[in-house]
Amino acid sequence: MDWLSATKSFCLLAEKSSFTQAANLAEISPSAMSKRIDWLERQLGLSLFIRTTRQVNLTEAGSDFLPRAQSLLKQFDAMLSDTQHSARQPSGMLKIAATLPVGSSILMPHIEAFLALYPQVKIQLDVLPFGDDPDLEHDLVICKKQDDFNSAAHKGTVLITHQMGIYAAPDYLTGHKKITCLADIAEHKIIMTSSYRKVGYIQMENGERCLLNNFNFVSDHRDPLLYAAVNAMGLLFVSPIYIKSELQQGLLVRLLPELKTTKTQLWAFYPNTEYMPVKSRLFLDFLKQRL
């Protein structure tokens, strides 16, 4: 008897609630399945199931043990898969969650390049709602770290530290008063996200605050914000990592580059386990090199 086969049998029995069905999936006899469960319960010193003539149900201890057992098996499968394939040839599904602007503006160009480099990998990119904490359903979660987020279930690493800037379309600048200092911004229309609308200002490194009272367009989506800025509707406060293409094409230009806002960090979170799948590690390294 061994821990791995017993743990697999436990998870199958918890799923099927039937020794016969679980044994069929494991391709063993019901009596062998029962012996594995008995062995596991003795090793743990716990009763994992309540057995009746009709069905098998988890005890409270069994319910507590189940997610840990499933996580252990998932780690083992990932380690086995990576061992069977070269570290330079990762394969399988990589599940990533990111906030919408991070996914569309930052990740997609790098995902395209990563998949070209590692064609055996498949990526599922899901949207993480603003303000939501990372979950354990994804291999990687890319987002801004929330101030109150402190989960022992996750590890995290900083991908990039960046600062916001003030940007406008060339057409906007030709038709409006020249901006020479922070105070001049009060005379211009502002384009911004609803989060800054609620705060009402942007904090500078030197302690100054840029008030955002004179706004004319608010959205939490990148495309409408960029459309408004590129079409000369006002000034846009944004980090340059979100508008690389627009800057390269000359659709937006930076104003007052000497002004520095407080720093913001983009994080990658992943499950706090001893083993990180090769494809997750390679994707993180790939991002850090390119951002």
Over the stretch 6-44, which tens digit does the pLDDT of each residue have? 999 999 999 999 999 999 988 899 999 999 999 999 999
Cα separation, 162 vs 27, whole angstroms: 54
The class of domain 165-262 in CATH terms is: alpha beta
**Closest by Cα among 198, 195, 200, 228 to 212:** 200
Asked if the domains 92-159+267-290 and 165-262 are classified in one and the same CATH topology, the answer is: yes
- The residues spanned by each domain of the chain are 3-84, 92-159+267-290, 165-262
Q: What token pair was written down for 52?
A: 């009746």
CB 244 within 8 A of CB 162: no
Residue type, 275: Y
pLDDT attached to residue 152: 72
Cβ of 27: how many Cβ atoms within 10 Å? 7
Cα separation, 108 vs 110, whole angstroms: 5
Taking phi first (over 0 means left), then psi (-120 to 50 degrees means alpha), and beta for anything else, what does residue 188 get?
beta
Residue type, 61: A
Q: What token pair was written down for 155?
A: 């590890």
Fold classification of 92-159+267-290 (topology level): D-Maltodextrin-Binding Protein; domain 2 (3.40.190)
**Helix pair 3-16, 30-44: axis angle to 10 deg:** 110
CB 109 within 8 A of CB 139: no
57-85 pLDDT, tens digit each: 999 999 999 998 998 888 888 777 666 65
pLDDT attached to residue 4: 87
pLDDT category, 253, cuts 50, 70, 90? very high
Position with higher pLDDT, 89 vs 68: 68
- C-alpha angle 220-223-224 in degrees, rounded to nearest 5: 65
| Ordered DSSP codes for 62-94 | HHHHHHHHHHHHHHHHHHHHHHHS-TTS--EEE
Give me the torsion for CA of 121, 127, 132, 135, rounded to 10°: -30
Name the strand (E) or helix (H) holding 122.
strand 121-127
Cα separation, 168 vs 191, whole angstroms: 10
CATH number of 3-84: 1.10.10.10
